[in-house]
Amino acid sequence: MKILAIEDEPQLLGNIKESLEKENFLVETASDYHSAIDKIFIYEYDCILLDIMLPNGNGLNILAELKKAGKNENVIIISAKDSLDDKLKGLELGADDYLTKPFHLAELNARVKAVLRRQKLDGKDTIEIANSVLDLKERTFMVDRQNIPLNRKEFDILNYFLLNKNRLVTKSALAEHVWGDNSDEADNFDFVYYQIKNLRKKLQSAHADIEIESVYGIGYKLVEK
Amino acid sequence: MKLLNQSVKYLSLSILAVITVWAVIFYFSLFNEIKSSIDEGLENSKRLIIRNAQQDSTILTKSYFDESFFAIRQIDKQTAFSVKDRYLDTVLNMQDKDDETPEPEPVRMLITAFELDGNYYELKVANSMVEEDDLVKELLSDVIWLYLTLIISIIFINNFALKKLWKPFYDFLSQLKEFRLEKNQVLPQVKTKTKEFTDLQNAVNALLRHATQTYEHQKEFIGNASHELQTPLAIATNKLELLIENGNLQNEQAENIAEVMQIIERLVRLNKSLLLLTKIENKQFLDNQTVSLNQIARSCVTDLEEIASFKGVSLSINESAELAAQMDASLANVMVSNLLRNAIFHNIANGNVSVEITETAINISNTGQPQKLDENLIFTRFYKPNSNAKGTGLGLAIVKAISVLYGFQVSYAFHDGLHNFKIDFPSA
């Protein structure tokens, strides 16, 4: 899987590259409009991460160029501007998703994988790890073909963890993903802990071969046993 | 006190003084004029009497005043020569039409002497005078009438002339009252050639332009600053996430990193809230559509149900009518969810939150601290009643800003131990 990250801030670009490489993606980078255009038209990518504000050009123009050339790469816009206008324009020009800075790396992972999975969908939409299967369409969770009932939030949490297998998911990334962007209160964390505890119990009693580990009290990691 | 009434007050006081002085002077000069005119008449009578006496000597025997108002008495030569014409004010018994019996009335009297056929006579001629107290009375009543007429005229003139003169000023004032420090506001205009008013307009407009500019700059600065902070915050968060992931940390180090991450999270939340506020105030939400607040409230309640039950707070929703508003859907969501979160997080164990939707309002009441909050402060930015609160202190400020943007009224009340937040939708 080849990903092109277009971002003018070198440190952020480095973080994105490092994080995505942990997922075994091949990551290439571009830090201005012209080099981005060059790379896009020379190589093929499975996913393009696109910053809108670029030196010597607007990221939205890159989208327009892609569309003109009939290329249908997956594009996720990354922008510091949480502006509805840009969002609508971007999605209209064929972007697949829109991520606002600052974001958690876990969130970026999840978005990239979701976009990539959508691309190669063949009727069913499931994530399979070890003896567990999460069916996103039916919203069911099976361990050894046994249906394990999960409530809505538990399902969302598990989905998020599966998209970030073996990766750190911080409590705040989880809270933001599952309980929404505009959460003003930090004491969501207790609730996150409570939900994780319940989910762990369910995984354990179903003898799933996956488990959720704590990472230094900052976050969690889903691993295969 | 209005300018109009002020000017009436000062004018009536000064006119009262002027008229009083004028009345006194007028009275004395009138009185002197009357006297001198009577004196001339007396002089004339004297000549007529002396001439008549030359033809008719019976006149010389008329020694007391009767219908013809003179008296003659013979005197010796010496006395006669010592007599000079003199006028004096005295009284005579007379009966005029309003008297029942004769009574003393003021008269003007000329005392003189003349010589006829070698005999000397003293002549007293009298003429009735105006009665002083009558004159004063008459004058006073006239003066009072004059005064009243003047005051009434002044009030009328004031009402027409002054109102007309000051109309541009009042127009200007009402424009000024409507003025808000926002972009593209038309500066108040005064429609007049009066120099003072145009000067006022220029001074006020210069001030307004300056204030608007400062306000815009400040808003822009907050917007730009929050905006510029987004990328560094992203870098910091992601760097720390990678640092932790790469492992090999002592527990103590990890704890420190966790603390730093939490601080960054707080900054991120604060920054997002500030950006949202700036966007609301800059009217950058233009995707207005008919939004069902019932739907919004229901989905917010569903979203927050689990966390509420985790906190031991029961959530209920009661819809007695359909409520819709013209607004941006995401802002509607922010508005309702901020109020709901607020009600859930500032609650007590086994407390409750109830949402009530009526035809024109949405009402959210919750149990909580038994003290009333300060309704003047809760909607201001960064207000936190207790300093250990973990929120940004912007949640309610955002609710307020959204309400102001769309002309909704948001209010707070506390009764029967319940905190009540209400949003009225006047146009609904």
pLDDT tens digits for range B46-62: 898 888 888 887 887 77
Secondary structure of chain A in HEC code, one letter for each residue: CEEEEECCCHHHHHHHHHHHHHCCCEEEEECCHHHHHHHHHHCCCCEEEEECEECCEEHHHHHHHHHHCCCCCEEEEEECCCCHHHHHHHHHCCCCEEEECCCCHHHHHHHHHHHHHHHCCECECEEEECCEEEECCCCEEEECCEECCCCHHHHHHHHHHHHCCCCCEEHHHHHHHHHCCCCCCCCHHHHHHHHHHHHHHHHHHCCCCEEEEEECCCEEEEEEC
Q: Are residues A42 and A99 in the same domain?
A: yes
Q: How confident is the model at residue B389 (pLDDT cuts 50, 70, 90)?
A: low
Average pLDDT over residues A144-158: 89
Work out the angle at residue B120's Cα, subtended by the Cα atoms of residues B115 and B125, and round it to the nearest 5 degrees: 80
Q: Are residues A114 and A139 in the same domain?
A: no
- Each domain of chain B, given as residue ranges in start order, spans 3-145, 195-281, 288-424
Burial (CB < 10 A; 0-12, 13-18, 19+), residue B310, is middle
Is B301's Cβ below 8 Å from some Cβ in A?
Answer: no
Instruction: List the single residue in A170, A185, A195 with the smallest CB-CB distance to B390.
Output: A185
Q: How confident is the model at residue A160 (pLDDT cuts 50, 70, 90)?
A: very high
Q: Are residues A108 and A25 in the same domain?
A: yes
pLDDT in tens, B371-383: 888 888 888 888 8
pLDDT exceeds cutoff 70 at A82? no
Architecture of domain B195-281: Orthogonal Bundle (1.10)
What pLDDT is attached to residue A183?
56
What pLDDT is attached to residue B428?
53
Is B226's Cβ below 8 Å from some Cβ in A?
Answer: no
pLDDT exceeds cutoff 80 at A87? no
The least confident of A36-45, A176-185, B317-326 is A176-185
CA-to-CA distance for A11 and B235, rounded, in angstroms?
7
User: What is the torsional sign of CA B158, B161, B164, B166?
Assistant: negative
Q: Are residues A8 and A114 in the same domain?
A: yes
Give the position of tokens 């603390």.
B259
Q: Are residues A132 and A199 in the same domain?
A: yes
The least confident of A100-114, B172-186, B357-371 is B172-186
> Does the beta-carbon distance from B241 to A151 stay under 8 Å?
no
pLDDT exceeds cutoff 80 at B63? no
Q: How far is CA A212 from CA A111, A160, A165, B23, in A?
A: 21, 12, 10, 107
Tell me if B257 sits within 8 A of B243, measured CB to CB: yes
Q: How confident is the model at residue A212 (pLDDT cuts 50, 70, 90)?
A: very high
The least confident of A80-89, B126-135, B136-145 is A80-89
What pLDDT is attached to residue B191?
85
Q: How confident is the model at residue B93 (pLDDT cuts 50, 70, 90)?
A: confident
Specify the amino acid at residue A188.
N
Is A172's Cβ below 8 Å from some Cβ in B?
Answer: yes
Q: Are residues A115 and A57 in the same domain?
A: yes
Helix axes A188-205, A152-163, angle to 10 degrees: 80
DSSP B158: I
What's the CATH number where A145 sits?
1.10.10.10
What pLDDT is attached to residue A185?
56
Identical fold at B195-281 and B288-424?
Answer: no
What pLDDT is attached to residue B265?
85
Q: Are residues A158 and A212 in the same domain?
A: yes
What is the number of domains present in chain A?
A: 2
pLDDT exceeds cutoff 80 at B212? yes
Is A204's Cβ below 8 Å from some Cβ in B?
Answer: no
CA-to-CA distance for B73 and B63, rounded, in angstroms?
6
Q: Are residues A94 and A198 in the same domain?
A: no
What pLDDT is attached to residue B318?
93
Q: Are residues A111 and A82 in the same domain?
A: yes
Range of the domain at A214: 126-224
What pLDDT is attached to residue A17?
95
Q: Are residues A138 and A100 in the same domain?
A: no
Report which of B84, B158, B144 is spatially closest to residue B114, judged by C-alpha positions.
Answer: B84
Question: What SS3 state is found at A195?
Answer: helix
The least confident of A168-172, B196-200, B202-206, B384-388 is B384-388
User: Which one of A85, A119, A153 terminates a domain?
Assistant: A119
Q: Are residues A111 and A9 in the same domain?
A: yes
What pLDDT is attached to residue B236?
93
Chain B neighbors of A150, CB-CB under 8 A = none
What pLDDT is attached to residue B378?
86
> Does the beta-carbon distance from B261 to A182 stay under 8 Å?
no
What pLDDT is attached to residue B315?
92
Residues 6+ apart with CB under 8 A from B136: B27
Report which of B234, B290, B208, B334 is spatially closest to residue A184, judged by C-alpha positions.
Answer: B334
Average pLDDT over residues B5-21: 89
pLDDT exceeds cutoff 60 at A103? yes
Is A148's Cβ below 8 Å from some Cβ in B?
Answer: no
The least confident of A35-44, A178-187, B258-267, B297-306 is A178-187
User: Which one of A119, A145, A169 terminates a domain?
Assistant: A119
User: Which one of A119, A148, A166 terminates a domain?
Assistant: A119
Structure tokens given for B340: 């709901």
Q: Which of B229, B230, B238, B252 is the best mutation test for A, with the most CBs of A within 10 A?
A: B238
Structure tokens given for A123: 């009727």
pLDDT in tens, A25-49: 999 999 999 999 999 988 989 999 9
What pLDDT is attached to residue A12?
93
pLDDT exceeds cutoff 80 at B263? yes
Give the position of tokens 């949402």.
B355
Specify the amino acid at residue B20.
T
DSSP per residue over A126-172, as a string?
EEEETTEEEETTTTEEEETTEE----HHHHHHHHHHHHTTTS-EEHH
* Cα–chain center distance at A119: 14
Report which of A74, A68, A54 is spatially closest to residue A3, judged by C-alpha positions.
Answer: A74
pLDDT in tens, B148-200: 999 899 888 888 888 888 888 989 999 888 887 776 678 888 888 889 999 99
Average pLDDT over residues A6-10: 91
Structure tokens given for B117: 């056929």
What pLDDT is attached to residue B223?
73
Instruction: Choose which CATH entry (3.30.460.80, 3.30.565.10, 1.20.1440.120, 3.40.640.10) describes domain B288-424.
Output: 3.30.565.10
Work out the angle at residue B282's Cα, subtended by the Cα atoms of residues B406 and B328, and round it to the nearest 5 degrees: 40
More confident residue, A54 or B424: B424
Residues 6+ apart with CB under 8 A from B141: none
What's the CATH number where A13 sits?
3.40.50.2300
What pLDDT is attached to residue B286?
65
Residues 6+ apart with CB under 8 A from A62: A6, A33, A36, A37, A40, A50
The least confident of A51-55, A186-190, B72-76 is A186-190
Give the position of tokens 């800003």.
B401
What pLDDT is attached to residue A69?
85
> Does the beta-carbon distance from B345 to A179 stay under 8 Å?
no
Is A18's Cβ below 8 Å from some Cβ in B?
Answer: yes
Residue A113 burial (CB count, 10 A): 19
More confident residue, B99 or A74: A74
More confident residue, B335 or B427: B335
Q: Which residues numbered 101-140 in A keep a CB inside 8 Å of some CB on B?
A: 101-106
Average pLDDT, chain B: 86
What pLDDT is attached to residue B176?
87
What pLDDT is attached to residue B79?
83
Is B153's Cβ below 8 Å from some Cβ in A?
Answer: no
Chain B neighbors of A11, CB-CB under 8 A = 235, 239
Q: Are residues A112 and A165 in the same domain?
A: no
Specify the amino acid at residue B100.
E
